[in-house]
Every structure is written in structure tokens, then in C-alpha cells.
Amino acid sequence: MAPRSDGSLAAGLAPSASPGRRRWSSVVRWVPSLAIGAVLAYLVVVPIALMLLSSVRPGGFPLDPGLTLGHYASVYGDPGFPALLWATVEFGVGSSVVALAIGLGLAWLIERTDLPARGVVRVLILLPMATPPLLMAIAWAMLLSPRVGFINQILTDAFGLRTAPFNIYSMLGLIFVQGLAFVPTAYLILAPSFRNFDPSFEEAAMTSGAGTWRLIRRILLPVLWPSILSAAVFLLMVSLVVFDVPGTLGTPAHITVLSTRIYYLVSDSPGGIPLYGRVGALAALFLVLLLALASAYHRLTLQAQRYRTVTGKAFRPRAMRLGRARPAAILAVIAYFLLSVAAPVAALVWMSLMPYQTRISWPALRLATFDNYRDLFVNGRVVASVAHSAAIAVSTATAVTVLALLVSWLAVRLKVPGGRVLDALAFAPVAIPGVMIGVALVYVYLTLNGIVPIYGTIWIIVVAYVTQYLPFGSRTMSGVMLQLHPELEEAALTSGAGRVRILWRITLPLMWPAAAAVWIWVAAHALRELSSALMLQGRENSVVPTLLWDYWAGGEPTRAAAVGVGLTLTLVLILGLWQAASRRGTKFV
Amino acid sequence: MTVMLRVDSLTKIYGNGSTEAGGVRGASFGAGAGEFLTLLGPSGCGKTTSLRCIAGLEEPSGGEIEINGRVVYSGARHIRVPTAARDVAMVFQSYAIWPHMTVYENVAFPLEARRLGNAEIRRRVESVLAMVGLSGMADRPAPFLSGGQQQRVALARAVIKDAPVLLLDEPLSNLDAKLREEMRAELRDLQRRIGTTAVYVTHDQEEALALSDRIVIMHAGSVVETGTPRQLYFAPRTSFAARFIGQADLWPCRIAGRGEDVITVEAPWGVVHSRCFPDDLGAALSLMIRPEHVEIAPATAPDGGASLTGTVARVTFSGRLAEYEIEVGGALIRAQGTTARLWEPGSKVRLRLPPDRCVIVNGGGEA
């Protein structure tokens, strides 16, 4: 009989109670939920509420007097609004489709076929995560800009073309770069369901007389459908709001999407004063849209779990023989790595070694210098940004890990009253893009400046990042906590151990690898996140990505490249650690 | 025998409280010092829930639980002693061996929780490890243990606590058949040696019969019947117990006559005498006959009173034993015999049904 648990740890720990103490103890039971709930509400609900409030204030600030729908009228009545909406959707859908197509192909090749060196490919596939989208965009601009792009130059020279064959500053260019940047995410969502697909399903279909095509159409696709769909919705959710690529490549092409529009309303508004009211009004629509997508995503992942075919029985997935298609498959994988890693990194490295923007050629090699790198260590601005980034990454990662651990422990294990609300609150920011969190925190800390004076410091960025990465942290921790057999803690209870000892000796050591993995992942992402830092940028809190952005936007590509190479190396190192920690994380469960 | 465990009207309601939702409704049983008590029943009958309520891992909805003379739960008196303060130790179905600790650390944990000195802990862990046959394995990390070794560690960790009541939740169900029989014997030996009271949960009736001093049969959250293995096998009082323990044919029957200690009953296929029946005969009765208790004789053998004649309809041969279905008066009666004498289909035979083995039980023939 399956052990059933209705929060046995809570049952086993509750103190004995006389009628009077019983009422008191039910009050006590609410204390942890309320405490953590207040923290989460402060991080998630308050910013959004203040942002919405300011969208109906004539002055655009939450505490201003009066009510108006004027901001909504001016945003949605703007003749450019349909074009903005269309560009956002075109970019979002396009890049999601590109990422999904490549991700599906790679997941299938790596998990279900006899592609050579699959183990190596499986690790390398995560490599693009070390080149943040901002760097990808910068690198591809170096490669494919119509005037000075390396590839364009080489092709025009080789074939005597009059105009450059490629233009990265176009909608197709944006979709191409963003799509490539999303591939690892798509792969990570899709690969487990390919990997865990029980081969006996396929074998049963084959013994029922089904051919390959019927097998794919009737068995493979229907079973994998929920996870494909949930990957699609997730990518769409992110791609509708990303800033890095449209911010870098869209501006020269005069392509504005929602996130860049919000950024320009804040930073480059015509009157010089940020149009916060309009920003709030614009953000409101997308908040609704994203919440709808997020709930769809939530439902789809639940369904995907129902289809999960892990039986606990060890099986070797059936590897399909590629046969004569094998060389083509190998070439496709190589092409993917060329486009997503080799070419952009090569462009960055070349650029970083040049004293000024120089086309790739043998003679130019004589100009090579390490000055840009030397500059990284002596330039006060760079050093300060690196220090800020490091402090922010460490604080954010620690805060997210602790919060996520507490939320999952309370909600999953102790099943405290209101635990589901805690869980939902911790997951809600997944629907709030970085730009929006950035903007919303501006409202909060301009309003609260007298009480919490962190506006313009690195701590406001920490608050933003904690909110942004909490969904990942709490999802991961809850997943691991759910997989930990409750009997492991119950055995400690029946051994006579108290609450603190169980947490300290059993729960935490068992969660430790997962906590380390979350910490490292969050630290890496805090190092590369651009959009919310850009919204919250002041004079005192520049970070590496905003520095990169400033160098690039300010026409110093060689310096930007050197910073980018340094960032990539750091991220490769951290992601390697993450891989190692994740692998340990699954050891116990 | 002193009472070590008393469970009184234990109730645990899940969800909407329907029978399908599981739970326990008013179960009462007890165990004396040193007794090996088994809670036996099909899955969902409430046996594991009862055990978890005793351990304090679930909070009951009502009733009372007393361990070693101390009330640890009482719905009416609002008493709830937390798990850590109860005089119990428990072995879990999944073993729940902590993977981040060595064998030694796992077994030492209950003593560590009691804040004993290191020397004392070391001495006791070593002696308990020797008791379960794991001497020399102390420093092995838990993930490097076989199923049987994990089982021993789990047992050692429970035994070291020296609790007067040892709770075991299907501890053998994850082992393969051969190892299970070995561990069954070891478990029984160990329990006798340390003299603890054991409450054992299982759905395996053979395991229950082999291990227990007394068995509590549960069904749909209630106690159906309690008795020693022999009582439940030879003289069950309910049709559920009769069906659940061992093989049994149950026939609806009617009392045709009553003597001092013998009852004449009418089954669909004939009339037999029974000397085994419950005191509280209900309205719906069944006649239970176990196939292994039916004696088969040649049709030419003398009648001798308690016998019927029939024709062998089907034979299932399994080497050591042969199972028969014998047609008697339009019904098929199952019988079992050794293969010393084999009957072929179509043979005319005489069936002897000893009155001591014709058992009248309360309840209909339906499952």
C-alpha cells in the first residue's frame, strides 16, 4: 500500500495541546506562512500594484492625486500601436518557431538516434547559455551588419557583389539571433520527454504492425505533444518580452517591440521626463496576456507530467538508426554549433584583439593587441562594474536559494495553511518580464525612497533579480523536495529527533546539491541579465551587462568585445560547476 | 501479559470520507508485551494508516491510542504527543535509509537525537550491527548497500532505540522472494530475542501466518476479525476472513438441524455436519471448506456418514500436488491431494468432509 501523507511531518511535529493551547497552536501554524507570504507579496504583488496604480494617475506616479484613463488612451490610441503589436508578435512567434524547430531536431537526434558522440553533444548543447543574448546580438552584428559585417565583407569581396547579401538589422535578423539564443532552453524542456519515452510503447506499436510513419504520427507525437506544446508556450511567453536582442539589433532597423518601447519611454522620452503613466498602461495589457500564457503553461506542464512515462524500471531508450542520413545529421549539428557558438565567439575574440574595428584579414593580424584586455583591469568603470556584478550575483543567488528552500519546505513538506498560495506567489513572476520588473521597482523605490533608500544602488537590482529568478528557484526546489521520499524525514521523527535536528541533519543535507545547483544557476543568470539592470541603472550601480551595452551603444565595439569575452569565460566556468552540481543533485532522489 | 499497545475506536477520515478515500473508521485492537501483532488486509483497508497514527505521523480524526501505559493520542481529551516523544521505533516500507550518511551514522541517529555520549553510541551501534549481521559494514556509505542490507540497516536503526513498541510497515515487500523468506525468519528471531512488542503491517497472508502471534484482519477501515494464525485459518468467524486467509470455497447454506456441538447444514449440493461455528450465528451464513481438507476416496469406499459422491471434472497437476474440481449434485467442489494417488477426469470418487473442517461463517458467499 502506498504510504499516504497529509503533511505527516507537520502532524508528527505539532506539540501536544490542551483545548486552550490548541487554539493558540492553530494561530502559530499560520506564522511561517504569513511571514514568508509577506516577503513574497512585497517582492511580487507590491511592484505590480504600484505600476498599475500609476497607470491611472495623471502624473504617472502612484501617490499622485487624481484618476485618469488618459495614459491608456494615448498608448492604445497611438497610430503606431498596431505596428508595435504586430512587430512584437511577429518577433515572438518567429523566434519561438525557430528555437522549437532546432530544439526538437536536436532533442530527437541526441536522445533517440545513433548520432555519434551524443554524450559530448549533450553537454556542448548548453554552451550557448554562456553567451547571453546581448552578446549574441553584438557578435552577429559584427558578423552580418550590412556595412562592416565580417561575413558580408568576405562574401562581397569573394563574389564581387555590389550590396551586402545579409542584413542583421531586419526582422528576419532579429528572429534568427533570438531563435538561436533560445535553442538551449527549448532543448532542456524537450529532451527529458524524449529521453524518458518508454521504448515498450514503440515496441508495442511495432508488434501491432505499425510502420515508422504511423509510429511517429500515432504514438510518438501524441505522447510528446504536451511537452512540445508547453515548450512552445514557454518560449512565446519569454520571447514576447525579451529586451536584449531587439534592443541591440532592432533600433538601427527601426523595429520597435513592446520591451524596447517601454525602455525608450523611460530613458529617451521626448520631454526628458520618463513617461511612467504610459509605461504602466502599456505594461498592463501585456501583464494580462502573460498571465493567460502562464496559466496555459501551468496547465500544460501538469498534463505533461500525467503523460510522464518514467516507471522506475531501468530501460535503454531505443536508438533509431540514422543509416544514410547520418552524415547529414552530423553536418546539421556541426552547423548549429558553428552558428550558435563558434562564429559569434570568433567574431568577439577577433574584435577584442583589435585596436579599432577592423575587417578580418591576414595583414590585420599584425594589429593584434591585448590593450582591450589590459583595460579591463585598470579602467575604474570596468572594475567597479565587475565588483557590482559579483556582489549582486552572490546576494541574489543566496537570497533566491534561501527563499525557494523555505517556500518549498513550507508548501511541499510541512503543508502549512496557505502553502499553495505561497507556491503560486513564488511562481507568479515568471509572467513578469525583466523590463517590467525593472520599471515596477522604479515606482516602488521612488515612492518608498524615504523609508528604503535603495534607488540607484546595487540593492534595487538585487531585489529585481530575486523576483525574477524566484520562479526558477522555487520550481526546482519543490521538484526535488517532492522527489525526496517523505519517509526519509518520518524515519528521523520516529528516531526521536525534533524539528530543528531533522531540518539540519536530514532535510538540508539531502537538499544541499539541489540548493547548490540553484545557487550557481541564479548567480550565472544574475551576471548576464541586462534588461532590468538597464531600467534601474543609476550612476552608482553599473553592472557588466550594462557596461557592455554602453560600450556597444557608445560605438566602442572593441572594448565591448573584450568585456564580452571575459563574461563568456566566466559563465562557461560557472555553468560547468552547475552541471557538476546538478548531476550530484539527482544522486539522492 | 501487560498491555503494551491499546488502540481504541481509532478513526481517520480522508477527503470526503467515502470508503474509496481510504482511512480508518473505528478500529480497536491491542498488543501485549513481547507480542507479534500483524495488521493484515487488502490495500486501502486502513492498516498502514492505523500504523502511522500509532507512530504519530498522521493525526487521527478521533479515538484513543495508548502506548506503554501512556495515552499518546485522545480525540476526546485533546491529547497529542508528538512522534519524537512516543515510545515507538519504526521500519519503513521504503527503508528510508538516509543516503548522505554511512551505515554507522544512520544507525547512530536515534541515539544522537537522545544526546548520548560518543563512546556509548559507538558501543551500542556496534552491538546492534552485529545483531543484524552487518559487523564490518559500519563505514559503508548508504547508497552502496544491497536491498537486503538496507533492510538490515533500517531494522538496526529501529532496534537501537530500544523502544517497547516496534512498528513495521510492509518491511519485506521490496525484497525478492528468496530473501524475503530469509529475512522473515531473522525478523522473528530478532523480535523474540529483544522481547519488544511488534506491530507489523502486511497484505501478504502467508507472511502474516508465519510471523504473528496474533493477526488483526482489516477491511474498509474496520477490524473484521482478530485471532491467532491457527484460529483464523481453521475457525474463521467471518466470510471475509475465510476468503482472505488461505484458499476456501464458500457456499451459501441453511441450518437444517442443531445438536449439542454439531450443526447440520444444507449446502446447494448436499447436507453436511459442522462442528466448527461461531457463537453469534447471524442471518446470512456460509459454509467454508478448504480444498486441502477435502479427503478423496474411491467411490467403492464405505460411506462412513460424512461423505458425498461425485465425479472428477478437472485436474490441475503441479507435481507435488494435484488440484481437482469435483462435480457433486450440479456444483463444483474444489479439492486438493498429494500425487501419491492421482485421479483422472471422469473418475467416480467419494468425498469425506470432516465435521471439524466444515466451518460455518457469518456473511454471504459474495466477496
Q: Are A241 and A263 within 8 A, CB to CB?
A: no
In DSSP notation, B154-212 reads HHHHHHTTT-SEEEEESTTTTS-HHHHHHHHHHHHHHHHHHT-EEEEEES-HHHHHHH-
Total structural domains within chain A: 1
Look over chain A and give the mean of its residue pLDDT values, rounded to a whole number: 82
Query: Which pLDDT band holds residue B365 (cuts at 50, 70, 90)?
Result: low
For residue A130, is it within any domain? no
pLDDT exceeds 90 at position B153: yes
The reported pLDDT for the residue numbered B157 is 94
What percent of chain A stands above pLDDT 90?
Answer: 18
pLDDT at A502 over 80: yes
Q: How confident is residue B1, by pLDDT bands cut at 50, 70 and 90?
A: low
| A18 — pLDDT class (breaks 50, 70, 90) | very low
Top residue of B100, B114, B196 to mutate, by most chain A CBs within 10 Å, is B100
Contact state of B143 with A587 under an 8 Å Cβ cutoff: yes
Lowest mean per-residue pLDDT among A337-341, A411-415, B216-220: A411-415
Residue of B nearest to A500 (CA): B113
Does A559 fall in a domain? yes
C-beta pairs of A122-128 under 8 Å, 24+ apart in sequence: A122/A191, A123/A579, A124/A337, A124/A341, A125/A183, A125/A184, A125/A187, A126/A184, A126/A188, A126/A575, A126/A579, A127/A337, A127/A340, A127/A341, A127/A572, A127/A575, A128/A180, A128/A181, A128/A183, A128/A184, A128/A340, A128/A341
Q: Do B113 and A497 touch (CB under 8 A)?
A: yes
Residue A94 has pLDDT above 50, yes or no: yes
Q: A488–B98: do the CB atoms touch at under 8 Å? A: yes
A195 within a domain of the structure (yes/no)? no
ipTM attached to this prediction: 0.81
CB contact under 8 A, A494 and B49: no
More confident residue, A300 or B347: B347
A interface test, pick of B16, B40, B45, B52 with most A CB neighbours within 10 Å: B52
At residue A419, does pLDDT exceed 90?
A: no
Q: How far apart are CA B287 and CA B272, in angstroms?
A: 10
pLDDT of B176 > 70? The answer is yes
Please, which residues 145-184 of chain B have a Cβ atom closer than 8 Å to chain A? 154, 157-158, 161, 167, 169-170
Q: Which of A311, A291, A295 is nearest to A303 (CA)?
A: A295
Tell me the mean pLDDT in the region A262-269: 80
Does A361 have pLDDT greater than 80? no
Asked whether the predicted pLDDT for residue A417 surpasses 90, the reply is: no
Smallest CA–CA distance from A588 into chain B, residue? B99
Chain A to chain B Cβ contacts (< 8 Å): 121
- Interchain pair B78, A13: CB under 8 A: no
Question: In this predicted structure, what is the pLDDT of residue A307?
Answer: 52
> Average pLDDT, stretch A120-140?
85
Going by their DSSP bridges, the two strands B307-317 and B321-328 should be labelled as: antiparallel
Which range of residues forms the domain containing residue A574?
A: 31-53+370-589
Chain B residues with beta carbon closer than 8 angstroms to that of A501: 113
- Asked if pLDDT for residue A195 goes beyond 80, the answer is no
Cβ(A137)–Cβ(A249) under 8 Å? yes
Which one of B78, B109, B143 has the shortest CB-CB distance to A492?
B109
Share of chain A above pLDDT 70, in %: 88
Indicate which CATH number applies to the domain containing A486. 1.10.3720.10
Binary contact (A19, B57; C-beta < 8 A): no
Residue B57 at interface with chain A, using a CB cutoff of 8 Å: yes
Give yes or no for A1 touching B (CB within 8 A).
Answer: yes
Task: Tell me the per-residue pLDDT of A42-77, one tens digit each, with 9 for 90 and over.
Answer: 888 888 888 888 888 887 777 778 888 888 888 888
For residue B110, pLDDT over 90 is answered with yes
Q: Which residues of chain B have a CB within 8 Å of the CB of A1?
A: 43-44, 47-48, 170, 201, 203
B66 touching A, CB under 8 A?
Answer: no
Mean pLDDT lowest among A50-59, A84-93, B100-109, B132-141:
A50-59
- Which range has the worst mean pLDDT, A47-51, A170-174, B133-137? A47-51
Asked if the model's pLDDT at residue B12 lies above 90, the reply is: yes
B 119-148 residues with CB < 8 A to A: 143
- Between the ranges A19-28, A333-342, A425-434, where is the mean pLDDT highest? A333-342
Q: Is B219 on the interface with A (CB under 8 A)?
A: no
Among A494, A502, A504, which would you mutate to test the B interface (most chain B Cβ atoms within 10 Å of its Cβ)?
A494
Nearest CA in chain B to A498: B84
Does residue B197 register a pLDDT over 80?
A: yes
Say which DSSP state B366 is in: -
Picking from A536-540, B75-79, B189-193, B197-201, which range would have the lowest pLDDT averaged per residue? Answer: A536-540
What is the Cα–Cα distance from B275 to B259, expressed in whole angstroms?
10
Question: Chain A contacts of B79, Cβ < 8 Å?
Answer: 16
> Quick one: closest CA in B to A488, which residue?
B96
d(CA B277, CA B269): 20
d(CA B25, CA A159): 87
pLDDT over threshold 60, residue A403: yes
Indicate the pLDDT class of residue B17, thresholds 50, 70 and 90.
low
- How confident is the model at residue B154, as a pLDDT? 93
CA distance linking residue A368 with residue A360, whole number of Å: 11
pLDDT band at A273 (very low <50, low <70, confident <90, very high): confident
pLDDT in tens, B256-268: 988 888 999 999 8
State the pTM of this model. 0.78
Q: Does B71 touch chain A (CB under 8 A)?
A: no
Would A295 be classed as within a structural domain? no
With bands split at pLDDT 50, 70 and 90, how would you rate the model's confidence at A237?
confident
Assigned domain for A46 exists: yes
CB contact under 8 A, B55 and A17: no
For the cut 80, the answer to whether the pLDDT of residue A344 exceeds it is yes
Confidence of residue A7 (pLDDT cuts 50, 70, 90): very low
Q: What is the mean pLDDT of residues A98-113?
A: 89
Predicted pLDDT of residue B11: 94
Q: Between the ranges A217-231, A314-328, B177-191, where is the mean pLDDT highest?
A: B177-191
Q: Is residue A246 part of a domain?
A: no
A141 or A268, which is more confident: A141
Is the Cα dihedral B159, B161, B165, B171 positive or negative? negative
What's the confidence (pLDDT) of residue A231? 83
Of B85, B94, B112, the CB nearest to A487: B94
Distance from CA of A415 to the nearest CA of B (A): 13
- Is any Cβ of chain B less than 8 angstroms from the Cβ of A66? no
**What pLDDT was estimated at residue A5?**
43
In this predicted structure, the answer to whether residue A340 has a pLDDT above a threshold of 60 is yes
Neighbours of A215 (CB within 10 A): 16
- A159-163, A190-194, A523-527, B17-21: which is most confident: A523-527
| Residue B265 Cα, gap to closest chain A Cα (Å) | 39
The per-residue pLDDT for range A522-556, each reduced to its tens digit, is 998 899 888 888 888 887 889 999 999 988 888 88
